[in-house]
Amino acid sequence: MNKIVLRNGFVYKKEGIVKADLLISEGKLFLQFSKMDEEGAIVYNMDGKLIVPGFVDVHVHLREPGFSYKETIKSGTRAAAHGGYTAVCAMPNLNPPPSTIENLTLEMDKIHEDACIAVYPYGSLTKNQSGRGELSDIAELAPYVIGFTDDGKGMQDDWLMLEAMVQAKAVGKAVIAHCEDERELKPGGCIHDGMFAEAHGYIGINSASEWKQVERDIHLAEESGAQYHVCHVSTKESVALIQKAKEKGLPVSGETGPHYLMFTDEDLQEDGSWKMNPPIRSMEDRAALIKGIQDGVLDCLITDHAPHSAEEKSKGLDGSSFGIVGLETAFASMLHNMVLRNPLDQDPERVDLRKAKCGTEELFKDSGKKAYGAISLYRLLEIMCTKPRELFPICGPKYIAEGEEADLAILDCEKVYRVDSTKFYSMGRSTLFSGMEVQGEVVKTFYEGKEIYDREKGFLED
C-alpha cells in the first residue's frame, strides 16, 4: 500500500480545525512523522483544503436486493464516496427484507462484491418489514447488523415495539424508528398538512402522526432501557420530546436531513422531487430543527437517500413515490446554506441576507467553531463525522488523530457551483438541489488508506 503525505491542509481535530501535514501509511493516519517516514511517499499539496474523517450516513436506501432498477450497491456506494462518505447504514426496505439470516446473506454478499466503502445493514424489526406481525429473529441477526428498524413503517402496536426493544437491549443493539402512527393518517396524504396542502387541495400528513409515536417510544425506551434512535425528525414536537428524554439521561438520539433544515412547505412545487416521507413541514418546525442541531438535541445529519426511477418521480406530488437522493449534495448544500448562511434569515426583500456571511478563509479561524451562519463548520463536521460514530459502532475516525484509520474526505470549501443531477453516480436523479448554487466539493475520498475517488479522475479502479 502506497504511503501518502498530505501537505498544507486544514484538519478536523477534537480541539478544532488546525493547519497540519498528514501521513497515510499502512491504512493509518499520522500527524507526527519524520523525513525518513516520508521516504517513497506520494506527496499532495492540499493548498488549504479541509481534511476530515469520511462522512457517515446512518440512513440510506441502497435498494439491493429487490429494486436494482432504482439503485445498486455499486452505484449507491459510489454516490456516497463522491459525496465524501466512507460509511453508510443501509435500510431494510428490500425484497426479500433482511429478517432472516438467509435473506440478510443475499444483501451482505452484494455488499462484499460491489461496495467501495463500508456498508452496515440494518435488520428488519418484523419478518415482513411492515411494522406489524411477528418480530424477526433479533438474536440470530444481531451479530451481522448495525441495529433494527422497519424504516418506512411505524411500529403500530405498543406491545410489539416494547418486545422489540427488550430483545434488542438483550443483544446490545439499537432500535431505529420511523415514527408514523397510522391512526393519525388520512388515506392519500402526500405533503405536510399545512399552508400548501390547504391552498392546493392536497390531503396532508399531520405532525401528530410522527410525534405521537416518538412520545410513545420514548416511554417504552425508558421502560426497556433500550438504545432508541428517531429517524428523519421533521416536527418541533419531536425535537422537544427528544430534548426532554436527553435531560432525563435516557439513551435517546435523533437525526434530520438537509431538506428539512433548508425548506418549508411554503417552498413546495408541483413536482415529485418535493415528495418525501416525512414531508417538509412548516417554518416553525424548521426553526425547531435548526435549534435542535445547534443545541445538540439532534445528533446526526442524514440524507435518507432514497432513489427511484425517473418514471416513479414524474407523477407530481400526488402520484410520485416518496423519496429523494442526497448523498452527493449533503455537504455542499449544508456548507452553502447552513454554515455560510442561515435559512431563518431569508427574506425575499433582503438581497444581502442571501449572501455568504463570511469568506472561506474565515471558516477555519477560531478552530472552525465560530458560527457565521446557522451553525459552525465544526458543528457540521460533528454531525456528519463524529456523532454517528459515537452512537453506533462504525469504522473510521471520529476526529483526525494519531494512529486512526485512514478513512478520509478532502474538501475544497471554496468551490462554488450549481448542482447537475445528470452527473450523479447515483441512479436516482430526484433532488431539491438540482440547478441550485452550492459550495464545497469533494477533492478526494480515501477508504482504508486507499484513494478511491478523485474529482479529476473519478473512481480509480475504473
* Residues labelled as active-site residues: 304
CA distance 84 to 78: 10
DSSP 405: B
In the structure grid, which three cell numbers stand for residue 341, read together? 448562511
Characterize the bridge pairing of strands 408-418 and 50-53: antiparallel
Within 10 angstroms of residue 322's Cβ, the number of other Cβ atoms is: 17
Within 10 angstroms of residue 101's Cβ, the number of other Cβ atoms is: 14
Of 3, 84, 11, 1, the C-alpha closest to 43 is 3
In the structure grid, which three cell numbers stand for residue 10, read together? 486544514
Is the Cβ–Cβ distance between 82 and 107 less than 8 Å?
no
Of 408, 266, 262, the C-alpha closest to 336 is 262
Gyration radius from the chain CA atoms: 21
Order across the sheet with 118-121: list the strands. Answer: 55-60, 85-90, 118-121
* Helix axes 158-170 and 208-224, enclosed angle (nearest 10): 50
Is the Cβ–Cβ distance between 430 and 259 less than 8 Å?
no
For Cα atoms 249, 250, 251, give the angle at the middle one, nearest 5 degrees.
120
For Cα atoms 290, 295, 299, give the angle at the middle one, nearest 5 degrees.
80
For Cα atoms 227, 228, 232, give the angle at the middle one, nearest 5 degrees.
145
CA distance 297 to 218: 14
Residue 326 main-chain phi, psi, to 5 deg: -160, -10
Dihedral of the CA atoms 357, 361, 366, 371 (nearest 10)?
A: 20
Is the Cβ–Cβ distance between 59 and 47 less than 8 Å?
no
For Cα atoms 364, 450, 122, give the angle at the middle one, nearest 5 degrees.
85
Dihedral of the CA atoms 134, 139, 140, 146 (nearest 10)?
A: 100
Q: What count of Cα atoms within 13 Å lies in the side-chain half-sphere of residue 242?
A: 33
3-state secondary structure of 220: helix
CA distance 33 to 23: 7
CA distance 149 to 300: 17
